[in-house]
Structure 1
Amino acid sequence: MNYEFFIAKRIIGSKAYKSSISAPIIKIGIAAIAIGIVVMMIAIATGIGLQQKIRDKVVAFNGHVTISNYDSNNSQESGIPISKNQEFYPEFKSVEGVNHIQAVATKFGVIRTETDFEGAIFKGVGEDYKWDYFKEFLVEGRLPVFSKKWSEEVLISQYLANRLNFKIDETFQMVFAKDDPEKLPNYVKCHIVGIYNSGFQDLDKQYLIGNIRHIQRISRWESNQIGSFEVFIDDYSDLNKKGVEIYQNTPSTFNTQTIIDKYYSIFEWINIFDKNIYGIIGIMILIAGINMITALLVLILERTQMIGILKALGSNNWSIRKLFLYNASYLILLGLLWGNILGLGLLFAQKYFKLFPLDPTVYYVTEAPVYISFGYIFALNIGTLILCLLMLLVPSYIITKISPVKAIRFD
């Protein structure tokens, strides 16, 4: 054990240290570190959690990449049909990292009841549909089964069900207009087997999910014709790269669109969270560092005589600076310990008990989601410790200006 660490340990353990003039300043410094780490952990956990939650909800309705015919139609409705007989379907083997591809079609219609009506997009899907995301969204009933050639089962959002007073096992008619306004519209009978709530109201109020054969019938398509393909990839961080690869491995008559391109404004909005997180981290570390600088200066001024004696005994300036940096490290670590206990406690409480709700019309989620990873928690603690110590190197330089003769003089 080096003597700087030994003396620092003795100072920390002494009763005089705990009851000295600097004690309140030290407590404030520890509290600043603890509060700072709590705020930073919450900012990262909720920021990343919100990004992932919103992203997953958009992916649930669209896949990561959409493959369709080139079409000037900008609506959500499927335009020119494409054949399912493609080399990349039902497995996209030519692009590594693609885990699923499914055939879908969409058509706008009107849900009609005896007393009310509501416009919605009927999303037709088949046996290959990936229900993984909707298992989490399901609030009542079950998911539809489309193993048979014909099925009237549909999954409707809680938003639409509440507006139209629908319950599980009820049936209704959906009306689809024909291209020729003089002809009678098409009718589709729907049987509600499940109600979902993704929390993303902009999408919930648009979509209900049913059998793709309904759209094929009313659009007069062949059984192998669909509106588009939805592609799912393993790693979202590779989305742009995989989007290009998918485009290069599809026929020239097809267009591909990533969810970022399709919902550009939403993804631009959630990318702002990164800047907010960096800003909060910077401000919190600066505040914690300033408080620790104040605490260190008070400790140095309080121990001026001790510094003079150590210098008279032959200690150099760097050794004495190390002594006080060891002391400051202890205070920082103590603050980090309390900060981690409080921060993780709040995050786990929010994760399992949903203490803080959010307005889904603004944030697209019903409660504040949290992302907990010990990787970023470890990096945050190490980064805070190192940056605070680096900030303390400058004020510790004041030790070099203390004269041993003046410091040990007793008036």
Structure 2
Amino acid sequence: MSFEFFIGRRYLKARKKHAFISLITFLSTAGVALGVMVMIVVIAVMSGAESELRARMLGVSAHIIIMRHSASFQNYEQALNHIKKTPGVTAATPYIYAQAMLRTSSGISGAVLRGVDPETAGRVIKTLDAETLKQLSQNTFDSKNMPAIILGKELAANLKVKKDDLIFLTVPKAGSDSKNRIPGMKRFKVAGIYQSGLYEYDKSLAYISLEKAQEIIGVPDTISGIEVNVKDIYKAGDIADTIVSDLGFSYLAQDWMQMNKNIFSALKLQKTVMFIILVLIILVAAFNIASALIMMVMEKTRDIAILKAMGATNQSIRKIFVYKGMVIGSIGTFLGMFSGFILCFILKKYKFIKLPPDVYFFPTLPISLEITDIVIIAASTMLICFVSTLYPSHKAARLNPVDALRYG
């Protein structure tokens, strides 16, 4: 053990006449611990919100969507087979979108109709179970020759329907001929009700089979696009570029990050702003550390002079007070991280904080501790504590031993 660290450790144990300095040291440690604890909990909640939102969005939509520049996407089988063979692709399925009107005896509501292939959609759309999708493939759902439809939970609640109830679907027909665009009405039977956890999706999205959607809209062998899932979601952009490059210039692709860019950019900005705001708590504690060290320098003027007279260098004197400040910062950081981990564990296990589902995407506070965030919080805290020791240690090192012994 170096004599600088030995003396710095002794200075931490203030005597009774230095009790005020000891109190400031305690408050400094508590301030660092509080700042680190709050920062870990808040950043964990925001990281959990981002992860939860990403998981829910990717449960409803695909990682990549392939479309054509032209209005119609016909003869898509060749493109679909080529996409499935692309490295990194795990599943691909065709889909068709259309605006629709749903009506029951209890209500009426607009909806986004989504025609999907029951055989392959389950590999891309995680919110739909295999049994319900299997019912979509049976265009004759029962003896009354009614096809099946799947509704979101909120949409079903607005229409006041449940499973096996009847529903009327109205979709405008495609085409340039105005006579052929007269919307037709078709009866469906509710085969299932899904819940994605995203309110906007659950209140507006309805699923039917791709074949039945093409028949109702009047566009046989035509789709809106192809949905693709990949093995690594963070490489979706590169895989999308590869697919478009292979298929040709008439195709275009969007990955999940492009489709939800505004939402995730806002979450990232909010996380950064909260980090900066919470750093201010640690800065307050850092000022307390600097104050405690400055008062310690004033109290230990004679000791510093004696050490210098005995041959201690300016660097050694500087190390004594830097060690003391860093010990305060280290203890505060450790206590804060420990308290933060405990609080995150309690919030994650017991989930006693409830959130309104129609406002937020999740019913309780989501918690996700990421190693990168923890390292950044610990490193930034220690850096702030180190900077707070520079001025007091510099002042101590510049003391003139003759003047300190004469006037100390």
TM-score calculated relative to the size of structure 1: 0.83
Residues 69 and 82 in structure 1, CA contact (< 8 A), matched pair in contact too = no
Q: Give the structure 1 partner of residue 78 of structure 2.
A: 86
Alignment deviations for residues 291-317 of structure 1 (CA, whole Å, 9 cap, x no partner): 322222223223323222222222112
Distance 1:98 1:182, change over 3 A: closer
**Hey, which bits of structure 1, 4+ residues long, moved more than 6 A?**
none
Question: Hey, what does 1:75 align to over in structure 2?
Answer: none
**Structure 1 residue runs without a partner (length 5+):** 72-78
CA, structure 1 residues 260+371, in 2 after alignment: closer, same or farther (shift >3 Å)? Answer: same
Name the structure 2 match of 1:380. Answer: 377
Structure 2 counterparts to residues 268-279 of structure 1, below 5 A: 268-279=265-276
Partner in structure 1 of residue 45 of structure 2: 46
Q: Please report how far the alpha carbon of residue 274 of structure 1 lies from its aligned counterpart in structure 2 after TM superposition.
A: 4.6
Structure 1 residue identity aligned to 2:112: I
2:136–2:209 contact (8 Å) kept in structure 1? no
Q: Is the 8 A contact 1:81 1:226 kept in 2?
A: yes
**CA 1:39/1:123 → structure 2, altered by over 3 Å: closer, same or farther?**
same
Determine the C-alpha separation between the residues in 1 that align with 2:148 and 2:302: 85
How far off is 1:405 after superposition?
A: 3.6
Distance 2:282 2:233 in 1: 30
Q: Deviations over 1:330-349 (max 9, x none)?
A: 21111112211221222223
Distance 1:149 1:367 in 2: 38
Give secondary structure in 1 for the equivalent of 2:311: coil
Aligned to 1:74: none
SS at match of 1:145: helix
Is residue 317 from structure 1 mapped to residue 314 from structure 2 by the alignment?
A: yes
Segment drifting more, 315-324 vs 186-195: 186-195
Distance 1:375 1:263 in 2: 23
AA aligned opposite 1:103: P
User: Which residue pairs with 2:144 in the alignment?
Assistant: none
Aligned counterpart for 1:144 among listed residues 133, 137, 150: 133
Please state how far the C-alpha of 1:6 moved relative to its aligned partner: 2.0
Alignment of 1:167 onto 2:187: no
Superposition deviation, residue 406 in structure 1: 4.1
Confirm whether residue 189 of structure 1 aligns to residue 181 of structure 2: no
- The structure with the largest helix share of the pair is 2
CA shift at 1:132, angstroms? 7.2
Judge conservation of contact 1:123–1:209 (CA < 8 Å) in 2.
yes
Q: Secondary structure at the match of 1:55?
A: helix
Name the residue aligned to 2:245.
Answer: 248
Match of 2:21 in 1: 22
Q: Could you state the TM-score of these two structures normalised by the residue count of structure 2? A: 0.84
- Output aligned runs, 1:66-145, within 5 Å: 66-71=65-70, 80-89=72-81, 92-94=84-86, 96-126=87-117, 127-130=119-122, 134-135=126-127, 143-145=132-134
Structure 2 Cα separation of the partners of residues 263 and 373 of structure 1: 22
Letter in 2 for 1:251: G
1:95-141 Cα shifts (integer Å, max 9, x gaps): x4333322222222222111211111122222212467645x99xx9
Matches within 5 A, 1:312-351: 312-351=309-348
Write the distance in 1 (CA, Å) between the matches of 2:106 and 2:321: 78
Deviation at 1:369, TM superposition (A): 2.4
CA contact (8 A) 2:36 2:337 kept: yes
Quick one: which amino acid aligns to residue 157 of structure 2?
Answer: N
1:57-99 deviation line (CA, Å, top 9, x unaligned):
333333122112224xxxxxxx6243341255375333x4333
State the number of aligned residues. Answer: 397
Please state how far the C-alpha of 1:25 moved relative to its aligned partner: 0.9
Structure-2 separation of matches of 1:289 and 1:370: 28
Partner of 1:214: 212
Which secondary structure does the structure 1 equivalent of 2:157 belong to? helix
Aligned CA distance change for structure 1 residues 183 and 397 (closer, same or farther; 3 Å):
closer
Task: Please state how far the C-alpha of 1:206 moved relative to its aligned partner.
Answer: 1.6
Contact 1:22 1:298 in 2 (8 A): yes
Identity of aligned residues (%): 23
Out of 389, 393, 400, which is 1:396 matched to?
Answer: 393
Kept in 2: contact 1:43–1:280 (CA 8 A): no
CA RMSD, Structure 1 to Structure 2 (Å): 3.2
Please say if residues 178 and 186 of structure 1, whose CA atoms lie closer than 8 Å, have aligned partners that are also in contact.
no
Contact 1:82 1:227 in 2 (8 A): no
* 1:380 partner amino acid: I
Moved more, 263-272 or 23-32: 263-272
Matched, 1:297 2:288: no
Shift of 1:266: 3.0
